[in-house]
Structure 1
Amino acid sequence: MTSATSAERQLGVQASDQRGAQQGAQPTCPPPDPDPTQPSYVPPPGACDSHFHVFGPHAVFPYAAKRPFTPHDAPKAMLLALHRRLGFGRGVIVQSTCHGTDHAALLDFLADVGDRYRGVALLDADVDADEIARLHAAGVRGVRFNFLPHLGNRPSPEGVRAVVERVAPFGWHVAVHVGGKELLDTLGLITAIRAKVVIDHVGRVDVTEGVTGFGFGALKKLLDRGTVWVKLSGLDRLSRAGPPFADSVALARALVRHAPTRVLWGTDWPHPNISRFMPNDGELVDLIPQIAEDERSRQLMLVDNPTEFFELPPA
């Protein structure tokens, strides 16, 4: 990356070092690849990275006391430098459980980038309308529910319904983060939501079952409803084969072929809680032509679909 980005990265490392002295917060998951390649694939104008996070810097935006993991700092300067390198001018920042329901880092990011970016929040069941209105004014357009055990307690159906009802007047979408079997367990809850829904990270279906698996079949049926989208992100998380993730790319490609107007793409930077194959973000971008095989499907996945789903200004 450029020297400026290297300097930003060094600041992130320094901030991470400061954490230990401040709150004993040693990182529990690895940092992202520090040297993403320059991708050969050039995204179309207005391309949107539909799923990424910003962490800290902890010295400015402390992590939640009861967080399920502690990341390395991954501040907004690093993310924006990465987007410039990869060719993305728009995106969606997703609140992470390491920051809990304190959206200070997310709001700081959105305040800097203007209308080109949107946010997705984490909310408690007792959130009030004033807080939702504050987040909406800043550019938040969705709320996320994590059903994975390692990210904390599973949301109750009553809690999900309460939050969905509170955000409904603002027209927010609902992001559902499930893993494999949890997708089948939450089908009733998902289909009962009267709002746009997006399934994060391909539903984290079992890649070894391929396109004939129950999880993948359930995902296709959800897309056929017309109110459900899927993020083709986290392919490195699904893969059992490792880079270049041919097994999970095949699943993503099948979804593009099945429902080209219901797919979104994201880096998932800085890839929290990756335990095996830390991806190189430039190489992830170079997988896009394998996922969406023609120019029209890439335009939909990267530009048109996110413009509609996240209520972004026209590219």
Structure 2
Amino acid sequence: MDLHRHTPPGACDSHIHIYNRAFLAHRDAAGFVDTADVAAYREVQARIGTQRVVIVTPRIYGTDNAVTLDAIRQFGIANARGVAVVRPDVTDAELETLHAGGIRGIRFTLYTPANAVVGFDMVEPLATRVAELGWHVQLHWTAAQIVEHEALLARLPSTIVFDHCARLPLPDGAAHAAFPIVRRLADAGRAWIKLSGPYLDSIEGLDRRYADAAPTARAWISAVPDRLVWGSDWPHVTETHKPDDPLLLDLLGEWTNDTATRDRILVDNAATLYGFGN
């Protein structure tokens, strides 16, 4: 069933990346995506029927969040939010500027620490600072890293958002030790999980519609339906064979098998987490 043809008003794609060569300056252009600017994503929105969007600063920009702020401005802050990347030397004035521009969280991409521009030692001090702004910390960690840093997660004063179904590896999925850790945080109202990137841990792949990732997604939906948001992960920079975005939204409908739950994830949950309508 083409559920993307019945996307509810106010639906949010809670995880995309925008690339704009104007903001590369003297950075290494390796990994740059020429076809992933605001105009290109507007075409995706028209196809999947979403109206709201959350833009996450891509790795190639380091801690320069200008590309994300510019994208929020183009989409309009009423319907767009951003997740930035910062380091502990960020000033309070810079954080205030980011907040005024629509930033509502900071991301720690540490699943491959060797390529990271931030570190585990930065998570707690930065979480303390951004908690005062009502922001969250978004973690792209492996499930093993979640288990290893359980005590750190318990100490964080800010809301936590786990990327890409918490990266539970297959075939373990929800049987992995990270699942109950994340669930306890979500049950306590301290964490959210993004239903995004099914291809990142799928073995079966696009041809099988990432069928092996479905049980993990359904486990999260069954456990904490009020603590989930959905994201396309456009423009799918990890994938050689890129999925069709309407397919990814249709998968959410298949995972929930319930229009009311799907719509809650797309609209109400996202509005709560990102402050749409406030």
Fold agreement, TM-score > 0.5:
yes
Do structure 1's residue 117 and structure 2's residue 73 form an aligned pair? Answer: no
Do structure 1's residue 306 and structure 2's residue 267 form an aligned pair? Answer: no
- Contact persistence 1:253–1:290 (CA under 8 A): no
User: Structure 1: 5+ residue runs without aligned partners?
Assistant: 1-37
The aligned residue for residue 102 of structure 1 is: 64
1:284 to 243, 248, 255: 248
Deviations 1:218-251 (A, max 9, x none): 3323322221110000011121111211111221
Stretches (4+) displaced over 6 A: none
User: Structure 2: 5+ residue runs without aligned partners?
Assistant: none
How far, CA to CA, are the matches of 1:43 and 1:190 in structure 2? 34
The aligned residue for residue 212 of structure 2 is: 247
How far, CA to CA, are the matches of 2:93 and 2:150 in structure 1? 31
Q: CA deviation at 1:154?
A: 7.4
- Contact persistence 1:95–1:106 (CA under 8 A): yes
Q: CA deviation at 1:260?
A: 0.7
How far, CA to CA, are the matches of 2:114 and 2:16 in structure 1? 16
Do structure 1's residue 209 and structure 2's residue 172 form an aligned pair? Answer: yes
- Contact persistence 2:106–2:138 (CA under 8 A): yes
Deviations 1:98-155 (A, max 9, x none): 1111112111111112211100000011100111111100111111111121672474
1:308 aligned partner, one-letter code: T
Do structure 1's residue 226 and structure 2's residue 168 form an aligned pair? Answer: no
- Contact persistence 2:38–2:74 (CA under 8 A): no
- Contact persistence 2:87–2:118 (CA under 8 A): no
**Alpha-carbon RMSD:** 2.0
Of all paired residues, the percent bearing the same amino acid is: 33
2:223 to 247, 255, 258: 258
Do structure 1's residue 75 and structure 2's residue 37 form an aligned pair? Answer: yes
Is the partner of 1:170 in helix, strand or coil? coil
2:11 to 42, 47, 56: 47
How far, CA to CA, are the matches of 2:188 and 2:26 in structure 1? 37
TM-score normalised per structure 2: 0.91
Q: CA deviation at 1:54?
A: 0.3
Listed as ranges, the matches of 1:23-172 within 5 Å are 40-56=4-20, 58=21, 60-62=22-24, 65=27, 69-73=30-34, 74-114=36-76, 115-149=78-112, 152-153=115-116, 155-172=118-135
Higher-Rg structure is 1
Q: CA deviation at 1:205?
A: 1.0
How far, CA to CA, are the matches of 1:153 and 1:89 in structure 2? 31
- Contact persistence 2:130–2:158 (CA under 8 A): no
2:32 aligned partner, one-letter code: P
TM-score normalised per structure 1: 0.81
Residue 266 to residue 109, structure 1, CA distance change in 2 (3 Å): same
2:71 aligned partner, one-letter code: F
Do structure 1's residue 194 and structure 2's residue 157 form an aligned pair? Answer: yes
Residue 41 to residue 245, structure 1, CA distance change in 2 (3 Å): farther
Is the partner of 1:123 in helix, strand or coil? coil
How far, CA to CA, are the matches of 2:79 and 2:144 in structure 1? 35
- Contact persistence 2:128–2:156 (CA under 8 A): no
